[in-house]
Chain A
Amino acid sequence: MKRSLPLAAAALGTAAASAAAPATAVAVPARVAAAATKYKGANVSYRYGSLSVTITKAKNKIASISVSYVPDTPRSSQLESLAIPELSKEAMKLKGWNVHTISGVSATSIAFRQSLYSAMGHADLLKR
């Protein structure tokens, strides 16, 4: 999956004026994939559990990023009774990025960033 600098810039909170990447997955060509190496970042605990970021390095750049996430909130059924007729309920989904700006809070970002930097360090991708 082609996902290089636009994501990294966004994840690092720089919100740089990067060209919009197409909102479709692009298969990584076989010869690039063969040269790609995975680096796993530190497991970072935060409010909702812990996460670690794994990056794939190819051609001295981040080719893809994935996240492993372990929730520490027990999946309870306490909210199943939450039936308010006026509200609709659905599972949270991941939407592709195709936005001008982001509304959110930053606790998650910190853990993500720490693990991402750690993975970039392992991959020798941090600037010196």
Chain B
Amino acid sequence: MTAFPGSGPNSSQTPISLAPGGFIPTTRDGLRHLEHVMGVPVMFDICGDPLRGKAALEAAVDWLHWADATFSTYRSDSEISRLNRGELAIADLHPDVAAVLARCAELKEETDGYFDIEAPYHSGPGSGVPEAGRGGPGSVEPSGVVKGWAVARVVRILREGGVANFLVNASGDVYAAGHPDGGSAWRVGIQHPRLAAEVVLTLALRDASVATSGMQARGEHIADPFDARVPSGLLAVTITGEDIATADAYATAAFAMGAQRAAAWCAGLKGYEAALFCEDDTVLTTPGLTRLRV
């Protein structure tokens, strides 16, 4: 293994050769499918009978498009957009939309207020100033939980369709169901927070999710909801646990906390494990996450 070049005193501009390896084939005769939905690529790897897999996959993809149309804040006719314009009352929402908003409120509690779907509309430098037509103060932006919640539903649809062993990867947030062909657990690599083409650690997962939050391609889109600044000390946060929407929201919240607060908060998590990738090129891990490493 090579020490990360940024960590030594004279290390800048030292070229490193990338670690060797590649993706392990996930399935011998199953299905692989890429669907662009909710503004992100969603990758499916489905093991087992391809005919059964195809039927379940089609149901899952259809449902994802329904969820996109219902929740997207980029679509003026979505329920969320209509709610934000005051055209829909809470009581008129589809039960799924109401359930997601209720879960968002719980997540705000669980994360000491750091996962806050109203925060994108707070004003101030570095905050997400709402784009035209996407609502103002008081509007909600539940996209941070919708993607994970939608993947969790897709997992249920696939299982109900008779598929037990599969991967769903929605733009870097992963659910690993069962096991791959010829293996006992899925190997999920965590992307190095500074070097895109590198893996910084690998987890063996079975019926579990993993989500990573950090600075995104679209800019510094996670802000501290309390002062709208970009959080400090962290490059990225990875959370693993059963529910992918929870893991995703926890990762977002921990990243917004900054290193100090996130470390203390993650130490107290129940049922979820964390890796905090810090700006000093160290990684802090909870004991349960250490046990999942391979």
Pair from one complex: yes
Chain B, 198-225, contact with A by CB distance < 8 Å: what is the 0/1 string? Answer: 1111100000001111111100100000
The answer to whether A103 touches B210, judged by C-beta atoms less than 8 angstroms apart, is yes
| Given A87-B263, A100-B186: A93 in contact with B1 (beta carbons within 8 A) | yes
Q: Are B186 and A67 in contact (CB under 8 A)?
A: no
- CB of B214 within 8 A of CB of A93, answer no
In the complex with contacts A65-B18, A88-B287, A107-B217, A101-B43 CB distance below 8 A: yes
Stretch in contact with the other chain, from B23-31, B50-58, B93-101, B142-150: B23-31
Across-interface contacts of A26 in B (CB, < 8 A): 20
B interface residues, how many (CB within 8 angstroms):
83
Are A94 and B195 closer than 8 Å at their CB atoms? yes
- Of chain B, the residue at the smallest CB distance from A14 is B34
A126 and B215 CA atoms in complex are apart in Å by 29
Chain A, range 85-109, C-beta contacts under 8 Å to B: 85-109
**Beta-carbon contact of B279 and A92 below 8 Å:** no
- Minimum C-beta distance from A42 to chain B (A): 15
A-binding residues in B (CB < 8 A): 1-7, 12-26, 32, 34, 43, 45, 167, 169, 171-174, 176, 180, 186-202, 210-217, 220, 233, 235-236, 238, 259-260, 263-264, 266-267, 276-287, 290
Tell me the nearest residue of chain A to B5, going by C-beta. Answer: A69
Q: For B215, what are the chain A residues with a Cβ–Cβ distance below 8 Å?
A: 47-48, 105, 107
Nearest CB to that of B213 among chain A residues?
A: A105
Output the least CB separation between A115 and chain B (Å).
Answer: 10
Scan A1-13; emit 1 where CB is below 8 A from any B CB, else 0.
1110011001100
Q: List, sorted by A's number, 18 A–B pairs whose CB atoms are closer than 8 Å.
A: A1-B20, A71-B6, A84-B284, A88-B285, A91-B7, A92-B200, A97-B199, A99-B202, A100-B26, A101-B167, A103-B172, A103-B188, A103-B189, A103-B191, A104-B212, A105-B191, A105-B212, A106-B172
Is the Cβ of A95 less than 8 Å from the Cβ of B19? yes
Complex interface: chain B residues within 8 A of A25 (CB): 20
**Contact check: which of B167, B201, B267 meets A95 at CB < 8 Å?**
B201
Range class of the A interface residue count: 35 or more
Closest to A104 in B: B191
By the criterion CB–CB under 8 Å, are A95 and B23 in contact? no
Tell me the smallest distance from the CB of A105 to a CB of chain B, in Å.
4
Residues of chain A within 8 A of B169, CB atoms compared: 101-103
Point out residues on A near B: beta carbons under 8 Å.
Answer: 1-3, 6-7, 10-11, 15, 17-26, 47-49, 51, 54, 64-71, 73, 75-80, 82, 84-113
Once bound together, how far apart are the Cα atoms of A98 and B24, in whole Å? 6
What A residues does B192 contact at CB under 8 A? 92, 94, 104, 108
Least CB distance from A39 to B in Å reads: 13
Question: In the complex the two chains form, what is the Cα distance from A56 to B40 in whole Å?
Answer: 32
Contact partners of B21 in chain A: CB under 8 A: 6, 20-23, 96-99
| Residue of chain A at shortest CB distance from B174 | A103
CA distance in complex: A85, B266 (Å) = 12
| Shortest distance between the CB of B95 and any CB in chain A (Å) | 30
Chain A residues with CB under 8 Å of B18's CB are 3, 7, 65-67, 94
Q: Kindly report which residue of chain A lies nearest to residue B290, judged by CB atoms.
A: A88
**Contact in complex: B190, A102 (CB < 8 Å):** yes
Contact B190 A67 (CB under 8 A): no
B23 contacts A79, C-beta separation under 8 Å = no
